[in-house]
Amino acid sequence: MVKTKIAVLVSGGGTNLQALLDAQAAGKLPHGEIVLVVSNKAGAYALTRAEQAGVATAVLTGPDFEARLNQLLASAGIEMIVLAGFLKILSAAFTAAWPERILNIHPSLIPSFCGEGYYGLKVHEEALRRGVKVTGATVHFVNEIPDGGRIVAQKAVEVLPGDTPESLQRRVMEQAEWILLPQAAEMVAEQLSLVK
């Protein structure tokens, strides 16, 4: 069986990347192989996590981001991309070149609290402001609409009395994101390995 070659795009701390690396080390990503981690921020801690796991890294900043990314992806033979806390919006031309091959994790139950401007703590602040009692995380394919591609997996998480954006963010990560993203990545990697 030929594994689906995966690149993970990151911008920050990389706890979701860590969940993917841990899943791979535990044999829970049997149809995929994380071969490249790309950051659009120099010094992102996610890069250290990748290095510690022995995965190749690259930092791409400045102009022509997508053109240089395309070169990197092509030379590494990448077949699937996972956005794990990647804060740059990819162009319609880029996403169209990777139909149902780019996954993103979003920390709410889409279509709530999603779209342009909803990232990081902002998502949880809005969930608390609106007073929802259940939130969660969504893994979806990436298309030209921010957070608008087909939903692959979702997991609900309770909002508790006294929650702050930070406590809610932490619970959503622990109970949903870090479980859901590796599961969804394996599911898509398996599907892609079958169509080769």
Tell me which residues touch ligand GRF (CB under 6 A).
Answer: 12-16, 46, 84-85, 105-107, 120, 177
Q: How far is CA 109 from CA 21, 170, 190, in A?
A: 24, 15, 24
Number of other residues whose CB lies within 10 A of the CB of residue 51? 12
Which of 20, 47, 18 has the alpha carbon at shortest distance from 32?
Answer: 20
Spatial contact of 101 and 6, defined as CB atoms under 8 Å apart: no
- Tell me the closest approach of the beta carbon of residue 113 to ligand GRF, in angstroms: 11
Q: Dig out the tokens for 125 from the structure.
A: 């602040």
Q: Which is nearer to ligand GRF, 175 or 193 (CB)?
A: 175
- Tell me the closest approach of the beta carbon of residue 46 to ligand GRF, in angstroms: 6
Q: Which is nearer to ligand GRF, 78 or 103 (CB)?
A: 103
Q: Dig out the tokens for 60 from the structure.
A: 């791409």
What does the alpha-carbon distance between residue 87 and residue 107 come to, in Å, rounded to a whole number?
A: 13
Q: Which is nearer to ligand GRF, 111 or 120 (CB)?
A: 120
- Tell me the closest approach of the beta carbon of residue 67 to ligand GRF, in angstroms: 24
The single residue of 31, 106, 124, 140 carrying the catalytic annotation is: 106
What's the farthest any 2 CA atoms get from each other in the chain? 50
C-alpha of 127 from chain center: 20
Q: Is 106 a catalytic residue?
A: yes
Q: Which is nearer to ligand GRF, 101 or 106 (CB)?
A: 106
- Tell me the closest approach of the beta carbon of residue 11 to ligand GRF, in angstroms: 7
Active-site residues, by number, are 106
